[in-house]
């Protein structure tokens, strides 16, 4: 083989390798919706930041649902999967959306608890006070109502006022500004709350809430 033919053969082989390598790294784009800025979503943030999806041929992206329930993103058809509490899927089913299913679960119990301003020393001191919760029907709202009624003997919206403040992080801001007297928080926000001088009034773990 002449030198010229050898160079041509090498060039063709190189181009074949490069085009094959390019095809190998082509990734399928997958956008995942999530519902809250809390420690529960750390795994998906790590997966996106460290590009762990590439190992499985996926280019992972995340979209924050904002004030919407994340299941509404599924209804739009633009996002195929969301990471959210199971209560959202149940709510969607009750509302007539029958094609949403729970495919995996990485948390088997509700963590955190209700944190209050320093002058509130006992759970019964919540009577006549205001508790800041997430949007109506959210896990924050549902668990707070259950704990108040079933565990503390306080009737929500009668003995204790529930005020929708939104994200758990906004619950801390509402506590700090005196808008609410207490708020349910989940990790890592309890660490922040304790640092700011707020008291853990009720521990969901201690109550055996799952």
Q: Residue 19 has what pLDDT?
A: 47
Which pLDDT tens digit goes with each residue over 45-83? 888 888 888 888 888 888 777 666 677 777 777 778 877
pLDDT tier at 177, thresholds 50, 70, 90: very high
Query: Which of 104, 115, 173, 184 has the alpha carbon at shortest distance from 143?
Result: 184
Q: Which residues fall within 8 angstroms of residue 165, CB to CB, at 6 or more apart?
A: 132, 133, 134, 171, 173, 174, 179, 180, 183
* Contact of 201 with 127, CB cutoff 8 Å: no
Q: Residue 161 has what pLDDT?
A: 94
Q: Residue 21 has what pLDDT?
A: 46
Of 34-38, 168-172, 180-184, which gets the smallest average pLDDT? 34-38
Q: How many residues does the chain have?
A: 210
Statement: residue 14 has pLDDT above 80: no
What is each CA distance from 41 to 36, 73, 83, 141, 148, in whole angstroms? 8, 17, 8, 19, 26
């Amino acid at each position: 083989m002449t030198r010229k033919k050898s160079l041509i053969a090498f060039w063709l082989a190189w181009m074949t390798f490069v085009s094959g390598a390019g095809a190998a790294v082509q990734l399928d784009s997958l956008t995942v919706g999530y519902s809250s800025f809390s420690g529960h979503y750390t795994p998906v943030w790590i997966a996106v930041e460290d590009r762990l999806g590439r190992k499985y041929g996926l280019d992972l992206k995340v979209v924050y649902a904002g004030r919407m329930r994340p299941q509404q993103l599924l209804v739009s058809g633009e996002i195929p999967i969301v990471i959210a509490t199971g209560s959202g899927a149940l709510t969607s089913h009750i509302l007539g959306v029958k094609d949403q299913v729970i495919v995996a679960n990485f948390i088997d119990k509700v963590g955190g608890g209700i944190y209050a301003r320093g002058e509130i020393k006992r759970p019964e001191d919540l009577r006549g006070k205001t508790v800041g919760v997430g949007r109506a029907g959210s896990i924050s709202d549902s668990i707070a109502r259950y704990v108040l009624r079933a565990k503390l003997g306080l009737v929500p919206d009668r003995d204790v006022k529930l005020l929708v403040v939104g994200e758990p992080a906004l619950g801390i801001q509402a506590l700090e500004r005196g808008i609410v007297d207490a708020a349910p928080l989940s990790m890592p926000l309890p660490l922040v709350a304790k640092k700011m001088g707020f008291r853990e009034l009720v521990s969901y773990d201690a109550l055996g809430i799952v």
